[in-house]
Amino acid sequence: MPYRRLPNTDSARLKSLKSAYEKGKELPPFKLAFSAGSFRKMQTVLPLFENAIYEHKNSLNIQAEKNKEYQRRLKKVRLYVSHFIQVVNLAIVRGDLLPETRSCFGLEEAEKKVPTLTSEEEVISWGQKLIEGEQKRRNRGMNPITNPTIAVVKVHFDKFIEYHNYQQSLKNRSQRAQDQLNEKRAQVDSVIQQIWNEVEDTFGDLPEEMRREKATDYGLVYVFRKNEMSNTTLFQSPRIEEIG
């Protein structure tokens, strides 16, 4: 016996709601297979659900679009942070700077390697250490590190931070949209289940095949199990195929 399957994707949920909504507009209440109360609920949740889907999709698209420039800025500032540390290390090798200069920037005096700059957090952390460390050196009257100077590093660092904060705000927006969509999904699933139950109750006294046929007109979906597919060709229309 085929079993009823509730929609499990947003497109399937919309299809189900719109099928029932069209029936609600087409038929007078006394001929409708579900209650007027359910129809009113559907009229409320349908536009809200569509808006939630749009907002979620739109927020993700904007985040992805802006991420291209963000990644370019990240790559640029990572290079400047790395090059500044390399310049310090080379100056120490040449004897232009003392090894303890590294400690001004949060580096171990004997550490000759550039620290890991894989993550955004590491880039931000080391960028701040370099800017603060070079400012302290200059305040003590020491010669500035050049090629690049900390001023150039700071320009790229500040611009990156601006993009970083903006990208974080886009992520927060996408998360809020996701949370709102999840909330609307739960409401929609409840309304769909209520409507489908009422439709099946309305046609409950009819023979099984006729009941399923009338129910599918309201958007209900019935799926045959594999062992049943070889025994019957009934209800092979797209209305009972897997949604989504």
Reduce the DSSP state of residue 222 to 3 states and report it.
Answer: strand
- Which two three-digit tokens encode residue 143? 């010669």
Q: What is the pLDDT of residues 135-161, one digit of tens each?
A: 999 999 999 999 999 999 999 999 999
Task: Tell whether omega for the bond before 148 is within 30 degrees of 0, i.e. cis.
Answer: yes
* Model pLDDT for residues 6-60, shown as the tens digit of each residue: 999 999 999 999 999 999 999 998 999 999 999 999 999 999 999 999 999 999 9
Record the tokens describing residue 151, joined without a space. 């001023």
d(CA 212, CA 95) in angstroms, rounded, equals 87
For the chain, the average pLDDT equals: 91
Please write the tens of the pLDDT for every residue from 81-102. 999 999 999 999 999 999 999 9
Q: Is the pLDDT score of 235 beyond 70?
A: no
Q: Which residue has the tokens 């400012």?
A: 135
Neighbours of 144 (CB within 10 A): 10
Domain boundaries, the chain: 3-240
